[in-house]
Amino acid sequence: MDQSLAVWVVILLSFATASLPFLLRRHLLALPWAQPGEPARSVWLRLLESMVFFALLAGWCVLTLELVGGALLIGADAVSGALFLGKLLAVAFTAVLLLSYPGWRFRAAVVEKPFLARLLEVLVLYLMVGTLGFAFEANIGNPFQQGWEFYAITLSLYLVLAYPGFVLRYLLRRHHGGHQR
């Protein structure tokens, strides 16, 4: 994969995922505490489900680093390009399946999503996109060690990309009924 293509894929993926928690009403994370409107369940069952969910998220990150970061891609070979694209699609499909489970489990109930849950979803999506970026970097060549400054700057940029979704969710007032001037 070309370096500029990998950078643009990560930028576009960041732009697409940063506002997602603010635009979706369904949960993207299986959190250990009860959400408003959630059916009554055992504390231990919620805790176990949350631990399994986050273990699967960590497994997804490791799998992404191994599949995408360890893949050999030779630009002139169509078979290796198709194999790399297949690995990317498999990683994306498993991420969509994993993140759709928490919303699917309470599909019949109207569960509210508080701001803290949305913020945690933004942070988890930042980690997932960052993992894919590190996998691209490992695939291209020599990955570099990063300090805390790198993570502070990239998280700040990711939060800036989430701002349009935040504005749509919290700052724009939706008027039901008559128009106000």
22 lies in some domain: yes
CB of 149 closer than 8 Å to CB of 4: no
Domain that holds residue 136: 3-171
Please state the length of the chain: 181
64 lies in some domain: yes
pLDDT tens digits along 76-131: 567 777 888 888 999 999 999 999 999 898 888 888 889 999 999 999 999 999 99
Number of Cβ within a 10 Å radius of residue 102: 21
134 lies in some domain: yes
180 lies in some domain: no
pLDDT tens digits along 4-45: 888 899 999 999 999 999 999 899 999 999 888 888 889 999
62 lies in some domain: yes
176 lies in some domain: no
163 lies in some domain: yes
How many structural domains does the chain have?
A: 1
177 lies in some domain: no
Label residue 177 by pLDDT band (50, 70, 90).
low
Three-class SS state of 146: coil
